[in-house]
Amino acid sequence: MQAILLLEDGTVFTGRAFGAQTDSVGEVVFNTGITGYQEVLSDPSYCGQIVTMTYPLIGNYGITRDDFESVRPYIHGFVVREQETVPSNWRAQYSLDELLKEYGIPGIYGIDTRMLTRKIRHHGVMKGVLSTSGKSVEELRQLLDSTPLMTDQVSRVSTRSVFSAPGDKHRVVLMDFGAKSGILRDLTKRGCDVVVVPHDTTADQIRRLAPDGILLSNGPGDPKDVPHAVQTVRELLGEYPLFGICLGHQLFALACGADTTKLKFGHRGGNHPVKDLRTNRCFITSQNHGYTVLEESIAATELEVTHINNNDRTIEGLRHKKYPAFSVQYHPEASPGPFDSSYLFDEFMELIERTKEERKGLPRQAQIAGAYAESRRNQPKGDLQYAQK
């Protein structure tokens, strides 16, 4: 069956359909990864986007449930040069086509993905519609013009309720803005007692969990679309050690008074070089984001830049000068991509331990009781809304 990808500038790509038979509108982006297409498909940060893979052969090692980065894919469409219908790998449970059909995601193959990538690099990301339903170009133009891009992606991908992954070491509250499973794996293998909370959890609700540290996860979209999260981070800043990843990095920057802006075509792939300014070492990183922290906005804050992107000099890492808090724009948990930066989770553990040592004084029980009493002082009796989540 024929498939059509129509861009908002009027460009039409005609290819062959795979996946679900439907129409989908989204922001058309590209990813430069050679492997890791399943992790790309299941990364919640791609919610609302039609993803183009620049590597020409996709689907050759199939799909396995063990490699999912979320419970389901959230992308709005998949664009490849060639899709393999018969995967060759002993771990494969089913094909790429079967995965897209299962979750109602359209795909197109057989188009010039190199031309599409060059167009996005030159003109920037743009809105598009991917159709495998047989609609005409005129019908798709009307659909494209009448459908706005999403602004509520975080609420779509975040957990609806609090859940935990028990451990016997530090308690870490993971604020889920679209967290990848890799982040949870890196925390639990370090023995952390992880409590995952929804994106709209308030500062007082987090205080009640008595965390040793807070991790702000990755997620989709514009950080300015989740102002409630910025306010929560601002209230918690200085109370607990804090680590931000990707969207969490941008929310941390906004909470500290910095500003963010949209990149022309973003950073998406597993081969982005990042320089650590503290050691002058370069790390190859996994990235997936369309926004960045404005360098000129840092001067008026208490933040310092710790990492930069070697390709375009954008900010890749921040640290607070006064409080135990830091963040990175890339993905130290990889999945997919290199594991060069997994040491950042160890730095987070060390920051928690150091903060505990510095604040040692009251017995743990007294600290919990004091924090609880303070958080309940201005709260109405019986926080039913939180209890029902």
C-alpha to C-alpha distance for 376 and 205, rounded to whole angstroms: 10
Q: What is the mean pLDDT of residues 358-386?
A: 58
Express each pLDDT in 3-56 by its tens digit: 999 999 999 999 999 999 999 999 999 999 999 999 999 999 999 999 999 999
Q: Which residues contact 21 (CB under 8 A, 6 or more apart)?
A: 1, 106, 132, 133
Tokens of 24: 């989908």
Please indicate if the annotation marks 288 as binding a ligand: yes
Mean pLDDT estimate for the chain: 93
Question: 310: which 2 tokens?
Answer: 């070697």
Q: Considering 192, 246, 267, 320, which one is annotated as catalytic?
A: 246
Task: State the pLDDT at residue 385.
Answer: 44
- Asked whether residue 191 is marked as a ligand-binding residue, the answer is no
Pairing of strands 213-216, 242-245: parallel
Tell me the three state secondary structure of residue 166. coil
Whole-model pTM: value is 0.91
- Return the closest-CA partner of residue 127 out of 150, 111, 106: 150
Is 266 marked within a binding site? Answer: no
Residue 199 pLDDT greater than 90, yes or no: yes
Count of other CB atoms within 10 angstroms of residue 156: 14
Query: What pLDDT score does 371 carry?
Result: 58
Tokens (6 digits) for 343: 């040491």
Residue 333 a catalytic site member: yes
Minimum mean pLDDT among 33-47, 186-200, 233-247, 374-388: which range? Answer: 374-388
Residue 151 is predicted with a pLDDT of 96
Binned at pLDDT 50, 70 and 90, residue 375 comes out as low
Percent of the chain exceeding pLDDT 70 equals 93
Helix (H) or strand (E) holding 116: helix 113-123
Q: Which of 52-66, 288-302, 352-366 has the lowest mean pLDDT?
A: 352-366
Stretch 324-345: mean pLDDT, rounded? Answer: 95
- Give 358: exposed, middle or buried? Use CB within 10 Å, 0-12, 13-18, 19+: exposed
Domain spans, the chain = 2-150, 154-376
Our answer to whether residue 331 is catalytic in this structure is yes
Q: Which helix (H) or strand (E) holds 93?
A: none
Find out whether 277 is annotated in a ligand binding site.
Answer: no
List residues bridging with 274 in a β-sheet: 283, 309
Q: What percent of the chain has pLDDT over 90?
A: 92
Between 21-25, 148-152, 299-303, 377-381, the lowest mean confidence (pLDDT) is in: 377-381
In the predicted structure, residue 377 carries a pLDDT above the cut 70: no
Q: Is 335 annotated as a binding residue?
A: no
pLDDT above 80 (res 388): no
d(CA 292, CA 314): 7
pLDDT category, 182, cuts 50, 70, 90? very high
Question: Would the annotation count 45 as a binding residue?
Answer: yes
Q: What's the rounded Cα separation, in Å, for the pair 46 and 153?
A: 9
Q: Is the pLDDT of residue 389 over 50?
A: no
Give the pLDDT confidence score for residue 360 in this predicted structure.
80
Question: Span 361-374, mean pLDDT?
Answer: 58
d(CA 76, CA 139): 19
178 is in an annotated binding site: no
| CATH number of the domain located at residue range(s) 2-150 in this protein | 3.50.30.20
Per-residue confidence (pLDDT) for residue 284, from 0 to 100: 96
- Tell me the average pLDDT across 272-284: 96
Predicted local confidence at residue 359, as pLDDT: 86
Q: Residue 368 — very low, low, confident or very high, per pLDDT cuts 50/70/90? A: low
Q: What is the pLDDT of residues 89-147, one digit of tens each?
A: 999 999 999 999 999 999 999 999 999 999 999 999 999 999 999 999 999 999 999 99
Mean pLDDT value of segment 278-292: 96
Confidence of residue 367 (pLDDT cuts 50, 70, 90): low
Is 246 part of the annotated catalytic residue set? Answer: yes
| 320 — pLDDT class (breaks 50, 70, 90) | very high
pLDDT on residue 382: 47
Q: How far apart are CA 193 and CA 174, in angstroms?
A: 10
291 annotated as a binding-site residue:
yes
Q: Which of 246, 231, 236, 184 lies closest to 214 in space, CA to CA?
A: 236
The architecture CATH gives domain 154-376? 3-Layer(aba) Sandwich (3.40)
Predicted local confidence at residue 361, as pLDDT? 66
